[in-house]
Structure formats: structure tokens, C-alpha cells
Amino acid sequence: MEKEKIDRINFLARKSREEGLTPEEKEEQAALRREYVAAFRNNLEATLENTYLARPDGTKEKLSKMRS
């Protein structure tokens, strides 16, 4: 996610606490948060896909996906 969008999320959060948001700003904030969470999840999933467990016997095992 671009730094400008993260800065905008932070600005809207600050403004929300200090003076409140207009309905348009609330919609923008919700959309930016959804985008941020999606990017975070994608990055975490990519990291976990490249993670291996090292067993005491020296073998390595790739993490498997959890079923929800």
C-alpha cells in the first residue's frame, strides 16, 4: 500500500477523534481500511507460504494452510 494512502488513513483517524468526519470521509476511511487489511493479509499469507518449521532432528517442514 502506498505511503500516501497510509498517511490519509492516519489523517482521517486523527480528524475523526478531534472533530468528526463527513459521511463521504467515513466512506473513504472504510474503503481505505478495507484496502489496508487486504494488503496486510496478502503480505502475511505470502510470508507464511515461504516459512518452514525446523524440527529437532534437523528436517524442515513447510507450513500447511489451516482450515477454517
Residue 68 covered by a domain? no
**Domain membership of residue 8 as a residue range:** 3-62
> Tell me: the pLDDT tens digits for 26-53?
999 999 999 999 999 999 999 988 999 8
- Any idea what the CATH number is for the domain that residue 8 is in? 1.10.287
Residue 32 covered by a domain? yes
**Contacts made by residues 8-13, CB under 8 angstroms, sequence distance 24+:** 8/32, 9/33, 9/36
Residues forming beta bridges with residue 54, ordered by sequence position = 60
Q: Tell me how many domains the chain contains.
A: 1
Name the band, by pLDDT with cuts 50, 70 and 90, for residue 4. Answer: very high
Do 51 and 63 meet the contact criterion of CB atoms below 8 Å apart? yes
Residue 48 covered by a domain? yes
The average confidence (pLDDT) of the chain is 92
> Tell me: the pLDDT tens digits for 6-32?
999 999 999 999 999 999 999 999 999
Q: What is the pTM of this model?
A: 0.74
Residue 7 covered by a domain? yes
Distance, CA of 23 to CA of 35 (rounded, Å)? 19
Q: Is the dihedral of CA 17, 20, 26, 32 positive or negative?
A: negative
